[in-house]
Amino acid sequence: MRIVILCSSVYSESACAMAARMAESGYIPVGALALSTLDRVTLLRKLEQWGARDVARYARAKLIPQRTNRPSQLRNPYLQPLLKHEDKFFRNLREVAAVYGFPVVTCNDQNVPESIACLKEWSPDLIIFTGGNILRKPLLDIPRLGVLNVHLGLLPEIRGMSSPEWSLLKHVPVGVTIHYMDAGIDTGPILQRCEFPGEAQCESLSDLRNRLIVFGIEKATEVVAALDRGTIAAKPQSTLDSDTNAGPDKDNQFFVIHEWLQARAAERLTNRRLAVVPGTVNG
């Protein structure tokens, strides 16, 4: 199966881990298309999500040559097993590509004609989206099977941003959904919904998100193998309503979460963790 990786930056840990995991499973990408490292939209989004100090720390770990290659340099420590190669850790997508032998192309927009031409030249069966632009129809129509996305929430109940937090607030099980992308926001056909079994071990919302990212990469790898064997098929989200009990508000789309709602979600995560610890009382 011919796979292409789309990502927001060659320094994306999730994209590196996804590419490395796919390659180790026998699905070496035929190419990767990444946004420029200095992409304005990506930088602004990271500043909003992480803050200036964490963005500077992340950039320093990825861009400045280090004397040692330590796992402590990873923002998501749970990606360590996926990014480890021999006695080092992949710090960017070009290092992954050098080991497994596939090209990495950077662009300012994944939807422009030059990017579309590059993707068509690679002739992918499947594109795996790990970040970047809002994808337009000309790009979505390129791969034979579709564009795969790992959504950090269960669809159709939890669409949009801040999915783990909204899952907690809406009393929906925390999990991931592997689905094909379409012109809507998280509305494409679903290949697999997976509840996350490790919620009780998570100490914070960031810890939960980091663990979900790794969980999603592993599930995506399983789905790709099943697609290659022809043992899995996507289902439109409309056919899942009776199975998921999504309810009348199933079409809600969630956006950036307010700080006090985020605090409430963190409190619920803590309560769930304490509830499964022997000898504690859920307050």
Per-residue pLDDT of 118-163, as tens digits, reads 999 999 999 999 999 999 999 999 999 999 999 999 999 999 999 9
Read off the tokens for 50.
């992480």
178, β-bridge pairs: 150, 192
pLDDT on residue 163: 96
Indicate if the pLDDT at residue 283 is higher than 60: no
Question: What would the pLDDT profile of 18-76 be if each residue is shown by its tens digit?
Answer: 999 999 999 999 999 999 876 666 666 656 665 666 656 666 665 665 555 666 578 89
pLDDT for res 277: 63
pLDDT of residue 65: 57
Quick one: pLDDT at residue 253? 82
Q: What is this structure's pTM?
A: 0.88
The confidence score (pLDDT) of residue 228 equals 98
pLDDT one-digit tens code per residue, 98-120: 999 999 999 999 999 999 999 99
Pairing of strands 84-85, 88-89: antiparallel
pLDDT at 257: 87
Alpha carbon distance 74, 58 (integer Å):
8
Give residue 72's pLDDT. 58
The answer, yes or no, to whether the previous bond of 156 is cis (omega within 30 of 0) is yes
Return the domain boundaries, the chain. 1-144, 150-283
Decide if 282 contacts 182 (C-beta within 8 A).
no
CATH among 3.40.50.170, 3.40.50.460, 2.40.50.140, 3.90.1200.10 for 150-283: 3.40.50.170
Q: What is the mean pLDDT of residues 181-185?
A: 94
Contact 164, 211 (CB under 8 A): no
Residue for token digits 């040692």? 68
Helix (H) or strand (E) holding 98: helix 93-100
Strands (E), 158-223: 159-160, 175-180, 190-195
**Closest listed residue to residue 245, CA positions, set 176, 170, 184:** 170
Tell me the two tokens of residue 12: 């994306």
The residue type found at 2 is R
| Residues 211-259 pLDDT 10s | 999 999 999 999 999 999 999 999 999 876 555 555 444 557 888 888 9
Higher pLDDT, 247 or 166: 166
